[in-house]
Chain A
Amino acid sequence: MFAAGIINFRHNKYKMQNTFWNENIETIGKEQLQPLQLKLLKDTVSAALKTSFYKNRLYRSGIKSPDDIKTLGDLNKIPFTTKDDLREAYPSGLLSTSSDDVIRIHTSSGTTGTPTVIYHTKEDLDNWTELVARSIVATGFSRSDIFQNMMSYGLFTGGLGLHYGAERVGATVIPIGAGNTKRQLQLMRDFKTTTIHITPSYALHIHSKFKENNIKRGDLCLKRAFIGAEPHSENTRKKIEEILEIDAYNSYGLSEMNGPGVSFECIYKRGMHTWEDSYILEIVDPVTQEPLCEGKEGEIVFTTLRRKATPLLRYRTRDLAFVYKDSCPCRRTHRRISRITGRTDDMLIVNGVNMFPSQIEEVIMRIPEVGTNYQVQLEKDGALDRLIVKVEIYSKMFTGNVKELDNLKEKIKEELRASIIIHPVVELHEPGSLPVFEGKAKRVIDLRVKI
């Protein structure tokens, strides 16, 4: 614990200030927040009742109109929504507005080939952008900053989300996207980038490339990084801050809740403020589904409060975290969640990309030259993750030709890349050599050392 005012910033060359984007809403008192949440919840239920998916579901729970929600406590009457529900409702079962009002869609890959989709109206994107602006200004970011966005653009929400937020703040945005370290470093130096948006593994990796690209820390004007897309430990943050000589701020979001800008650290770096005027935050026991009190670790559940096109009620994120009990010296009243401590399902995050082992299985099952047993191994290759997929060759298909086997590897690699967006290393093994499981198979071996 430390008192307000005594803040240990890594990068004390720059004066740290607690700045606000929308001070009124960011410091809103409980007595004002709760009626606002109730009003917005009713609006959301009203919008949800316009979707084929929620109409059925809410009727069955006795909610036929927004007036059936009388207090925030009535949230408990609403059943949870899961990722499977989103898949089931694909493509338009959760669309609440006219499709003419939709101006963008974001989809994420599904575990069984069915993606999930989130529709956005103009107002939805505007609200999202506001939340991102609010989030980054809480770290001291301002229109004077040069922002290099090193996250992927496209359907992945990380790139576009921060892009529009930083533009709204009025900063200079360099929309470079992910990868190409040499170019990243060159632009970082030439345009005096002050702030980067990056995954923790790439942040560690990029530093290891300074020397070969002839970059000295003194050539750069870096002040801070927004770190997202991968859960990471406090030690990883410290390491990033130490080697890059910057302040690193944790960012949490998920495409179902727009993307980044759901929860973000302020300059005090004591957990991530979750914007409660836009989301109702619950932590529930993943087994009993009972809401848990502050301080107890459980699954994060969100209800959108301002989303028009795709309202989601009590969405189970599968991410585990807890809510801090104490207040934050920054004066923001929005409660803070801890770092993500784990998942309630088997989702893997590899270099910032989400994937499920079942996606790998699906690809392997449709390739006749390999058997059905497989193993997934995750390792560190420097600071980055390496995904190794081990498959067994199918004896009858073996001809003794090396080229054929190399082609087979390429084919598996290419099909996996198309499905999971990650470039895997494919290893061929002898039939019967990979472990066989009688009960629940343990096919994923994660050897990535937590720093």
Chain B
Amino acid sequence: MKLTQISVFLENRKGRLHEVCVLLSENRVNIRALTIAESEDFGILRMVVDRPDSALQALKKNGFSAQLTDVVAIEVDDEPGGLAKILKVLTDKNINIEYMYAFVEKLSDKAVLVFRFEDTDLAVKVLKGSGIKILRKEVEEI
């Protein structure tokens, strides 16, 4: 139902993102999707990975401040209006989005949208009620 996202606190320092990626690579964790929220002096790296538990463990062991967050992934057709259709459903039902990011699937004509909602359970209910397909573990396995 919900998907796990890893958030990592990154201070504004040269090479810090590189260090995260090297660490994940060494632990054979594959990043599926990634975005960075930036502030003046720090950033928060958010990512969906294939093995979130191993990733979290590795990050914490190496002194990173990391946290798991529930997000919702939705698959849409990769064509004009794909995102708009989903947003209409959410807008009509007054569902607030905290943030979102998207990635395109390699082997299909679908795009995957990752949402963080203020009220995840309510959002899931609304989306399901509108017949929108919510991805589960699959995203991590794409």
Q: What is the CA–CA distance of A265 and B109 in the complex, to the nearest angstrom?
A: 80
Chain A residues positioned under 8 Å from B5 (CB to CB) = 400
Contact of B44 among A400, A427, A429 (CB under 8 A): A400
| Chain B 38-50 near chain A by CB (<8 Å), digits 1 or 0 | 0111101010000
Q: Which among A35-43, A222-230, A290-298, A430-438 touches the partner chain?
A: A430-438
Is B25 an interface residue, CB under 8 A from the partner?
no
Interface residues of A (CB under 8 A from B): 393, 395, 398-400, 402, 405-406, 427-433
Given contacts A402-B39, A405-B39, A428-B41, contact A433 B46 (CB under 8 A): no
Q: Lowest 8 CB-CB distances: which A-B pairs, in order?
A: A400-B7, A398-B65, A427-B41, A395-B65, A400-B67, A429-B11, A430-B11, A400-B69
The minimal Cβ–Cβ distance linking B35 to chain A, given in whole angstroms, is 12
A-B residue pairs in contact (CB < 8 Å), sample of 29: A395-B60, A395-B65, A398-B9, A398-B65, A398-B66, A399-B7, A400-B5, A400-B7, A400-B44, A402-B37, A402-B39, A405-B9, A405-B39, A405-B42, A427-B11, A427-B12, A427-B40, A427-B41, A427-B42, A428-B11, A428-B41, A429-B42, A430-B9, A430-B10, A430-B11, A430-B65, A431-B63, A431-B65, A433-B11
Total A-B pairs, Cβ < 8 A: 48
The minimal Cβ–Cβ distance linking B97 to chain A, given in whole angstroms, is 14
Given contacts A393-B65, A400-B7, contact A433 B39 (CB under 8 A): no
Chain A residues positioned under 8 Å from B41 (CB to CB) = 427-428
The minimal Cβ–Cβ distance linking A73 to chain B, given in whole angstroms, is 58
Residue of A nearest to B13 (CB): A433
Q: What is the CA–CA distance of A431 and B64 in the complex, to the nearest angstrom?
A: 7
Contact of A402 among B44, B60, B63, B67 (CB under 8 A): B44
Contact of A399 among B13, B37, B39, B67 (CB under 8 A): B67
Q: What is the CA–CA distance of A169 and B10 in the complex, to the nearest angstrom?
A: 59
Within 8 A of A (CB), among B54-85: 60, 63-67, 69
Q: What is the CA–CA distance of A393 and B10 in the complex, to the nearest angstrom?
A: 11
The minimal Cβ–Cβ distance linking A406 to chain B, given in whole angstroms, is 6
Residue of B nearest to A388 (CB): B41
Residue of A nearest to B64 (CB): A430
Interface of B is mostly: strand
Given contacts A406-B39, A427-B41, A428-B41, contact A398 B67 (CB under 8 A): yes
Given contacts A400-B5, A427-B40, 8 further A-B contacts (CB under 8 A): A398-B66, A398-B67, A400-B69, A405-B9, A427-B11, A427-B12, A428-B9, A429-B11
Given contacts A402-B39, A405-B42, contact A393 B13 (CB under 8 A): no
Tier of interface size on chain B:
20 to 34
Residue of B nearest to A406 (CB): B39
Interface centre among A395, A398, A400, A402 (most CB of B within 10 A): A400
Residue of B nearest to A403 (CB): B98
Chain B residues positioned under 8 Å from A433 (CB to CB) = 11, 13
B9 touches A393 (CB 8 A): yes
Q: What is the CA–CA distance of A302 and B43 in the complex, to the nearest angstrom?
A: 52
Q: What is the CA–CA distance of A432 and B60 in the complex, to the nearest angstrom?
A: 12
Residue of A nearest to B7 (CB): A400
Q: What is the CA–CA distance of A433 and B39 in the complex, to the nearest angstrom?
A: 18
Q: What is the CA–CA distance of A395 and B39 in the complex, to the nearest angstrom?
A: 18
Q: What is the CA–CA distance of A433 and B10 in the complex, to the nearest angstrom?
A: 11
Q: What is the CA–CA distance of A432 and B61 in the complex, to the nearest angstrom?
A: 13
Residue of A nearest to B67 (CB): A400
Q: What is the CA–CA distance of A395 and B60 in the complex, to the nearest angstrom?
A: 9
Chain A residues positioned under 8 Å from B37 (CB to CB) = 402
The minimal Cβ–Cβ distance linking B88 to chain A, given in whole angstroms, is 26
Chain B residues positioned under 8 Å from A429 (CB to CB) = 11, 42
Q: What is the CA–CA distance of A405 and B9 in the complex, to the nearest angstrom?
A: 10
Residue of A nearest to B41 (CB): A427
Within 8 A of A (CB), among B1-36: 5, 7, 9-13
Q: What is the CA–CA distance of A427 and B39 in the complex, to the nearest angstrom?
A: 10
Residue of B nearest to A431 (CB): B65
Given contacts A398-B9, A433-B11, A433-B13, contact A428 B42 (CB under 8 A): yes
Chain A residues positioned under 8 Å from B11 (CB to CB) = 427-430, 433
Residue of A nearest to B46 (CB): A400
Q: What is the CA–CA distance of A411 and B134 in the complex, to the nearest angstrom?
A: 38
